[in-house]
């Protein structure tokens, strides 16, 4: 027999006792009719009054106790069947109840945690300030909603979505605390996968598939931002357009696979030769672009010379020596972005016209 059934059976017994008492009183009244007097009626009335008052008081107390026990049992049944973990602690911070879902999530049985402090679930991921903030919110507002990392019995750490409610006594002190939580590991993993997939798509959308450098679209985003910075802080900004000399002959003579290999090797050489603050991208075909923040045309020329020197010293795995031509322009505050690039393109054209394997600064 369950606790609820036992409570109902006890209440039925008390009700039967009450009915028996009423029958006894009724019998006394009938018996008294044979020798009724005025005094006897008064005594009988008083006896009946006190008897009824006693029975009513006793029955009311029993019903209130029954109602309280019934409420507690119903609450327990509700908590027992919740699909979320439930922990109840008293005013001293001692666990007094956990539901079956708590046992499934944490791996702890109720016998292992009842009487313990919830700190046995601490993951170590949160500092004391976190728990102080949580406790202050409970005392001031009566609830806390958020995410917390806890530890299971097997030692593994997992994220919880948790709602904690404080129940106060008549004096305004916390009497007990109810925490309802769920394991959101799967949800977190799903969200992280979505973020990773999004980041991967963004990376693919901004990178050149062959060389691994920024593509033209990504470069344009950075290019316009650096122009804004240059205008705001009156800082220098220079641009290099770099083109592999006679690349068509490489493709025609060795094939496109070898040509692609040269492009990849050339891109790697450039990448290893620029500063962290510079932006290198594949502009298109065998042409590359290098943006140099806080760099005037004189310093840009020095950097370009070092690039060509490294290229002249390098021997490609399949085709041997390769040269390149470079055009340089320096940003002027009156330039549009298109004009800034066009100046470098004109300088590059002059390098090619003048024999290639050389650097040309744009001149007005």
Q: Which of 316, 318, 292 is nearest to 306 (CA)?
A: 292
Distant-in-sequence, close-in-space partners of 53: CB < 8 Å, separation ≥ 6: none
Three-state DSSP at 295 gives: coil
Count the neighbouring beta carbons within 10 Å of the beta carbon of residue 235. 14
Question: Up-side HSE of residue 347: CA atoms within 13 Å toward CB?
Answer: 25
Identify whether the C-beta of residue 184 lies closer than 8 Å to the C-beta of residue 159.
yes
State the catalytic residues: 286
- Report the distance separating Cα 191 and Cα 196, nearest Å: 9
Please list, residue by residue across 301-317, b when 16 or more beta carbons sit within 10 angstroms of its beta carbon and e when fewer do.
Answer: bebbeebbeebeeeebe
- Report the distance separating Cα 177 and Cα 168, nearest Å: 9
Distance of CA 74 to the CA centre of its chain: 36
Query: Exposed, middle or buried: residue 300 (CB in 10 Å: 0-12, 13-18, 19+)?
Result: buried
Structure tokens at 146: 């958020």
Three-state DSSP at 200 gives: helix
Helical (H) or strand (E) element with 301 = helix 297-313
Longest CA pairwise span in the chain (Å): 145
Beta bridge partners of 240: 290, 328
């Amino acid at each position: 027999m369950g606790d609820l059934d036992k409570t109902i059976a006890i209440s039925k017994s008390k009700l039967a006792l009450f009915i028996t008492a009423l029958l006894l009183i009724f019998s006394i009244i009938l018996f008294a009719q044979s020798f009724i007097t005025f005094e006897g009626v008064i005594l009988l009335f008083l006896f009946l009054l006190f008897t009824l008052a006693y029975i009513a008081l006793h029955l009311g107390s029993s019903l209130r106790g029954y109602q309280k026990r019934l409420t507690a049992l119903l609450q327990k049944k509700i908590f027992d069947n919740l699909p979320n973990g439930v922990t109840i602690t008293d005013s001293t911070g001692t666990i007094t109840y956990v539901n079956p879902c708590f046992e499934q999530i944490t791996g702890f049985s109720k016998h292992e945690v009842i009487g313990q402090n919830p700190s046995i679930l601490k993951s170590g991921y949160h500092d004391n300030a976190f728990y102080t903030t949580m406790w202050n919110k409970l005392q001031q507002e009566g609830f806390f909603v958020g995410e917390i990392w806890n530890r299971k019995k097997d030692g593994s750490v997992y994220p919880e979505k948790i709602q904690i409610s404080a129940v106060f006594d008549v004096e305004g002190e916390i009497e007990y605390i109810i925490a309802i939580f769920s394991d959101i590991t799967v949800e977190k993993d799903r969200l992280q996968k979505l973020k990773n997939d999004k980041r991967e798509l963004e990376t693919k959308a901004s990178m050149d598939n062959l060389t691994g450098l920024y593509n033209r679209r990504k470069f344009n985003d950075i290019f316009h931002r650096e122009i804004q910075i240059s205008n705001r802080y009156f800082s220098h900004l220079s641009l290099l357009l770099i083109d592999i000399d006679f690349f068509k002959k490489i493709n025609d003579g060795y094939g496109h696979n070898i040509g692609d290999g040269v492009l990849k090797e050339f891109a790697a050489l450039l990448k290893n030769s620029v500063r962290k603050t510079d932006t290198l991208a594949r502009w298109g075909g065998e042409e590359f672009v290098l943006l140099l923040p806080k760099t005037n045309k004189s310093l840009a020329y020095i950097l370009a010379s070092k690039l060509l020197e490294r290229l002249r010293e390098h021997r490609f795995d399949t085709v041997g020596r390769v040269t390149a031509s470079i055009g340089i322009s320096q940003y002027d505050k009156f330039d549009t972005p298109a004009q800034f690039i066009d100046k470098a393109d004109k300088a590059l054209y002059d390098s090619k016209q003048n024999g290639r394997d050389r650097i040309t600064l744009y001149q007005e």
